[in-house]
A and B are shown apart, each in its own frame.
Chain A
Amino acid sequence: MQSLEVISVNIWDILISLANLLIIFLLFKLFLYKPVRKVLDKRKETIDGQYSAAEEAKQSALADKQAYEIKLKSAEDEADSMIKSAAATADRRSAKIIDDAKEKADGIIRQAHSEVELERKKAADGIKREIADVSALLTEKMLEREINENDHREFIDSFIEGIGEDDVTGD
């Protein structure tokens, strides 16, 4: 079998070798780099997506937290105001009850007063009548004659009225 010289230059062999390098370049590009790059890009995309999703979740969680804090605060405020208003109503109610009680008591006292007055008046009237009767009796006795009781009663009444009145105020 023939063989080439150790140092030999052949233009066609050079071109074949050049084409070989181009072919291996294309093969590497199409069958190694393209699929691997595709996978790497896809992975990067997924990771980016996951990162952004995590970021979004964090943001929404923060927003939720803020909303909850606001809600909690408003709830606290509400409770405060509720307590305050309840206390105010209780105060008002107690005041009203006390007022009512006072009024009632006043009414009772006033009634008692008026009753007492009435009694007194009644008593005074009774006493007046008694006195009139007594004086009439006395006068009758003194004059020793029959006096028309009815004729003198008015006179005696008016007389005693004046005394009674002085008596009552004097009491």
Chain B
Amino acid sequence: MKEKSFKFRIIDALLIIGSVLPIAFAIVLRVLTNPEADGIVITGANIFFTVKMPIQDMPITESQVNSWCVIVSLFFICLYLTHGISEKGGLRRQMIAEWIVEKTDDLVKDNMGDFFKSFSPFIAGVLGLSAFSSLITLVGLYPPTSDLNVVAGWALLVFILITYYKLKGGVLGYLKSFTQPFAAFTPFNIISEFATPVSMSFRHYGNILSGSVIAALVAAGLTGVSNMILGRLPGLLGEFPLFRVGIPAVLSLYFDIFSGALQAFIFAMLTMLNISSAFPMDDWLKRMDKKRAKKEKQSNKKSA
């Protein structure tokens, strides 16, 4: 690999700055706007401002802003990973980029089959957005995934995709599938249809939120214990919550890193499985055959 040129290095540096800056901005915003809490306060996202909209006012909250920051950051990371990649390779980032692409391709192929090959960027998007949204708790930010609305939006998109692929097998077939195995099951089938996105969003949101809640409770509890035991010590020593040092980090390892990554993976897996199992391949192929036959007939008529 030949020496990187000065221009190349400058662009690299700008891209790295571009991927770090949004997170830094979110941290600054958090520091400036987060009200000091007394004791245990478990609330949702802070509302920056509210836009008047029909049906319901639209609050622009921390979860939205943090989501956007994550998106911008991921965008710059993408640019960084693909900057200067070439056919011959040689850059470490190219290996990472190719690894991401190949792994998601394999994952999608294994779980959804060849028909859904083009889904790998979407699955990578779900994985990336979900994982990074959860992982920004590591720098003290409010995780957007612990806001129900955010995850519900993703689940709604998945629900739309599921319904779209179900309708590919024909509208009649879709409606008929609700009466399986017999007509009395129709209400249950409708409920189960809507249960999919609801369960997906609640699972993800609940896991991340419970992590935050438990972390807050443990931190408060440890402060209490520390006050109780060390409170008799004179001066600053008594006020300092010594037990809060270190112990919450172990919990954070589980709730922030492991749970965040795992929930992202679970959400992506469920997305893949639900969409691919919703697609009635046989019916779709039959319909395609019928359409082709019709077209051929028409073209024959035209030529005749």
Contacts and interface: CB of A to CB of B under 8 A. Distances in A.
Interface of A: 1-25, 27-29, 31-33, 35-37, 39-40, 42-43, 46
Interface residues of B, number: 58
Interface string B36-55: 00000011111100010101
A88 to B, nearest CB: 67
Contacts of B67: 16-17, 20
Contacts of A21: 125-126, 129, 153-154, 157
Contacts of B149: 8-10, 13-14, 16-17
B147 A43 contact: no
Contact of B45 (A4, A24, A27, A46): A4
B26 interface: no
A11 B55 CA distance: 8
A156 to B, nearest CB: 131
Nearest to B145: A17
A6 B43 contact: yes
Interface string B143-175: 010011111111011000000000000000000
Contact of B209 (A6, A14, A43): A6
Contacts of A18: 153-154, 156-157
Interface stretch (B73-81, B237-245, B275-283, B292-300): B73-81
B121 A32 contact: yes
B78 A28 contact: yes
B254 to A, nearest CB: 21
Contact of A17 (B47, B124, B153): B153
Interface in B92-134: 94, 97-98, 100-101, 120-122, 124-126, 128-129
B258 interface: no
Given A3-B44, A9-B152, A13-B61, A46 B147 contact: no
B64 interface: yes
Given A13-B61, A13-B63, A46-B87, A4 B71 contact: no
Contacts of A11: 55-56
Given A10-B56, A13-B61, A39-B87, A29 B152 contact: no
Q: Chain A's interface: helix, strand, loop or mixed, by majority?
A: helix
B129 A24 contact: yes
Interface string B11-34: 000000000000000000000011
A17 B151 contact: yes
A3 B61 CA distance: 8
Contact of A32 (B56, B97, B144): B97
Given A13-B150, A17-B154, A28 B47 contact: no
Given A6-B209, A24-B125, A29-B121, 19 more contacts: A1-B35, A1-B46, A4-B46, A9-B149, A12-B59, A13-B59, A13-B64, A13-B147, A13-B149, A14-B156, A20-B67, A20-B129, A27-B78, A28-B125, A28-B128, A31-B78, A35-B82, A35-B85, A40-B101
B58 A13 contact: yes
A46 to B, nearest CB: 6
